Chain A
Amino acid sequence: MEVTTNASVEETQVWGGGNKPLNASYGKMMMWFFIVSDALTFTGFLVSYGFSRFKNINSWPIADEVFTHFPFLHGIDAPMYYVALMTFILIFSSVTMVLAVDAGHHMNKAKVTFYMLLTIIGGAIFVGSQAWEWKNFIKGEYGALETRGGQILQFVNAETGKRAAIQEFALGIESDRATHQSYNGIWYEDEKALPNVSVAEVKKGFLADPNLVIRTQQLTEEGQKTVLTRDASLAKIDEAVGVVEGANLIHNEYGNRLFADFFFFITGFHGFHVLSGVVINVIIFFNVILGTYERRGHYEMVEKVGLYWHFVDLVWVFVFTFFYLV
């Protein structure tokens, strides 16, 4: 392609058109401006996350306790390892993308194809990993009770200091309470599925085991969750009104429900970006195979989707920091 530099342009030609002061094509520039506006969107999300966090600075969930899973390692406490791996995968797929762009500059079709394929695979692995993270987060681990004010009460074994799962210590109570279905009610309204254990069962199990104490949402000076004494726990458990298992947009066993809301919203929005990035990459990949860009004489389309792909990586770097590290 022709390269027009400002120095070589005659004064009379400056206003005659065809001059590129930014030395970038229309498409590339628009991709950049889209990225700038998208970056500001993500800024809005992440800053509002920061807002909620600073607003609840003494009761925010500790990320290390929330994301502790690693595939195939059951019951092993592995905070952050998996997200770190996901970060590496995404950075690596960014690298293969930039290698594809570089190969495109050299009009090397075989290499562009190969690197684009690696990029797509990396992106797909990342989206899958994120789905897995969501699954663990939604399913929950130990379960908790919720008070009328929406505070979460978790349980700890005072002897071992380990968290206690409500499923394990709750004692069954004979009850006739069944999930209300629309066919057996007058008002034809369905009820949400009942939790596996009821508040009364958790309470009974709690009273039966003198080692159990309650851990509240409040953070201590050292940034740890406050663990109540047995006596304070016995008083506290009467405030509980509901059982929470896992997390959704309304309840969150890990602590403040805003944490779950932001987690779903921001990682979901980012995951959607990755997904659409993979789809666009696939389209470009097939165009490369079909030789579209070979005939066009340049691989600028690869460069443009590359910009988008790197941007997705860039956002993840920030999401990783603000959700998992800080």
Chain B
Amino acid sequence: MAAEGHKLAIFRGLLKFKSNQQKIWGVLIFLSIVTTIEVALGIIKPEVLMSSFLRMKLLNWIFIILTIVKAYYIAWDFMHIRDERSGLKNAIVLPLVILIPYLAFILLLEADYIFDVMEAGFVAWDF
């Protein structure tokens, strides 16, 4: 097992840690900061970010992007994907990266269409 084979740099080498434990605490601090930002934004709900972009509020886009950032660091540093061979890395990450956006895209598009049908159709849903 690659006990000492940890890659100790995060943020593309911007931040280098001396030991694996230090890296873990560093990543924890980073994840905590991101979560705090999310919660703060969720409570304040700045007016600037309420405008719509691609049928969704800008604020919601920020939440989703921050979530993916968090997911990246959990997978890469806590689950040690960073230390795996690229073959295993791709076998795990590529199916998810391809299938999840695909599924989300077709279902959300369909839901948007159904919303239009219900809205503009001749059936009353509120009676």
Contacts and interface: CB of A to CB of B under 8 A. Distances in A.
| Same assembly | yes
A98 B77 CA distance: 9
B74 A310 contact: yes
Nearest to B95: A36
A95 B24 contact: yes
B24 A317 contact: no
Interface string B92-112: 100110011001100110111
B77 to A, nearest CB: 8
Contacts of A321: 38, 63-64, 66-67
Interface stretch (A10-18, A80-88, A131-139): A80-88
A126 B42 CA distance: 21
Interface residues of B: mostly helix, strand, loop or mixed?
Answer: helix
Interface residues of A: mostly helix, strand, loop or mixed?
Answer: helix
B70 interface: yes
A36 B88 CA distance: 12
B8 interface: no
A297 B88 CA distance: 24
B107 to A, nearest CB: 5
Given A88-B35, A99-B24, A40 B96 contact: yes
Interface residues of A, number: 65
A151 B125 CA distance: 9
B74 A313 contact: yes
Contacts of B3: 105-106
Given A24-B84, A151-B126, A80 B28 contact: no
Chain A CB within 10 Å, residue with most, of B42, B92, B119, B125:
B42
A17 B124 CA distance: 67
B35 A55 contact: no
A25 B96 CA distance: 22
A98 to B, nearest CB: 5
Interface of A: 1, 3, 21-24, 29, 32-33, 35-36, 39-40, 43-44, 47-48, 50-58, 64, 79-81, 84, 87-88, 91-92, 94-95, 97-99, 102, 105-106, 147-149, 151, 218, 223, 239, 298, 300, 306-307, 310-311, 313-314, 317-318, 320-321, 324-326
